[in-house]
Structure 1
């Protein structure tokens, strides 16, 4: 595995990296790499989004972050009713526990393929880490919130457009074997690191022989901040949060739970602030059976 950063080039696996530093590299460059192992259709991974968003907002300057794809569900019998019913129940149960709304009816109406979605995410990632992350978020919004199965390439292409990708490159990469090989590489690394639960995070220090820290499953936010602190060897300082309006402009879609977690508000206060933006016609609510998410209203000038 090769890691690139401004001022550094590293090769190896977490905890066993060999790196070369540019003599002009500055101390403020990210020093921690975080690998997030997820299944894009796993409800527990979706429920992890508020915490990840908060971590990005507060401490993004200290780390690089990369999603790695694996798949939790067998793809063979997804269209059979009993399997769809089982997964839908899992979505509903997890939604109640995490507060992240979703619409499980997609598994009855147009069940998505975990494998095809993972391949599409890997194809998007060839246009850069940020592009891959944007695509991953957009496609999960379409599945969890908009109830779209993403089983037609035109649907995947529309998501790629939403994520600002080069559409020709995306199609070529999706149809090539390199995306399959990239997914296989993610799975091999998951096996090497003994990833047994999703989501899982692996923290490692860039250019250091310190052992990587693996966190299986979801924990309190303070646990991840403490791991970051321990690996840095100093206290990281959280960045100033953007305004809610600017955050919506950047994110486009947010659930009430995400707003509450990112901005450290009780859900009642989060709803109060969201309704203020609704009255200003900056955002619009979209009600699902498991909750409400909010959509940024793009103006013609944008």
Structure 2
């Protein structure tokens, strides 16, 4: 952990803190951080604004071999005049395009893209996979495709790279915490830690004990987060994997969930068609 002086953070909605979350969406440690971030938002989301920032080291994407890139190039439509869009950075640009439809839309897209990569072993450099991800995230598809090839998405990505450089972020994942006192330095933490560490940082920077919100019932959480590994749900609900397995198997018997075995391990998919959603 170390402190960092940064430009004045913009606080809205009367939330006393702002957190910059620097991620490579295709890094396994960043993926492992996802359930911790979800739990932090559920319990302490009233106290902070979360801003996702893409780092400049999209390691997993840059390790794609030439055959994969040639295959991806063949699948890309409507971008014959833009060689940049044949590169693995298409996935990164698509994230910024999704964010143009709003913060929540961007978060839904990032999470779904990570699910497709880590759970379903999909090729997230393929424009067809990216379009399917946008559909799953309930984005306006025509607007999304147009934004991918726009200057707005490219500039947003460049802005993220600039922030990453200015805050000297070189390891993933990384988080920088700012409180509402603009004279105080931010606190930067890199790496993956237990949930309690992040709560401790919030408590110290808020100079008191923030009151956690009540966790939603499991089924209510699943309506907005339908795809999860058992371990992730165990982290979010502070239960053992065995307890989560029993609850999910009950939902499976009710035909509300199914267990899917994938290359990177099994995961649960919630199938209820009810319109109940989390606020």
- Please report the TM-score for the alignment, with normalisation by the length of structure 1: 0.77
Residues 20 and 48 of structure 1: CA distance in aligned 2, closer, same or farther (over 3 Å): closer
Matching residue within 274, 278, 294 for 2:252: 278
Shift of 1:152: 3.3
Matching residue within 31, 42, 49 for 1:57: 42
Shift of 1:130: 0.9
Deviations 1:93-134 (A, max 9, x none): xxxxxxxxxxxxxxxxxxx96522111001101111111000
Partner of 1:17: 8
- Do the aligned partners of 2:178 and 2:186 also contact (CA within 8 Å) in 1? yes
Partner of 2:243: 269
**Structure 2 residues not aligned, in runs of 5+:** 68-85
Partner of 1:193: 167
Partner of 2:72: none
- State the SS of the aligned residue for 2:178: strand
Shift of 1:216: 0.7
Shift of 1:75: 5.1
- Do the aligned partners of 1:73 and 1:114 also contact (CA within 8 Å) in 2? no
Matching residue within 75, 90, 113 for 1:116: 90
- Do the aligned partners of 2:43 and 2:214 also contact (CA within 8 Å) in 1? yes
1:78 corresponds to 2:85: no
Partner of 2:104: 130
Residues 300 and 52 of structure 1: CA distance in aligned 2, closer, same or farther (over 3 Å): closer
Partner of 2:214: 240
- State the SS of the aligned residue for 1:48: helix
Residues 114 and 57 of structure 1: CA distance in aligned 2, closer, same or farther (over 3 Å): farther
What is the distance in 1 between the residues matched to 2:247 and 2:163? Answer: 42
- Please report the TM-score for the alignment, with normalisation by the length of structure 2: 0.83
What is the distance in 2 between the residues matched to 1:277 and 1:155? Answer: 29
- Do the aligned partners of 1:19 and 1:207 also contact (CA within 8 Å) in 2? no
What is the distance in 1 between the residues matched to 2:24 and 2:258? Answer: 29
Matching residue within 234, 239, 242 for 1:260: 234
Q: CA-atom RMSD, angstroms?
A: 2.4
Partner of 2:76: none
What is the distance in 2 between the residues matched to 1:78 and 1:186? Answer: 22
Deviations 1:275-295 (A, max 9, x none): 111111111111124422110
1:251 corresponds to 2:237: no
Residues 181 and 266 of structure 1: CA distance in aligned 2, closer, same or farther (over 3 Å): same
- Do the aligned partners of 2:6 and 2:167 also contact (CA within 8 Å) in 1? no
**Structure 1 residues not aligned, in runs of 5+:** 1-12, 82-111
Deviations 1:26-59 (A, max 9, x none): xxx3111111111111111111112111111111
Using the TM superposition, name which of 145-154 and 134-143 deviates more: 145-154
What is the distance in 2 between the residues matched to 1:182 and 1:175? Answer: 12
- State the SS of the aligned residue for 2:59: coil
Moved over 3 A (4+): 13-16, 18-21, 74-77
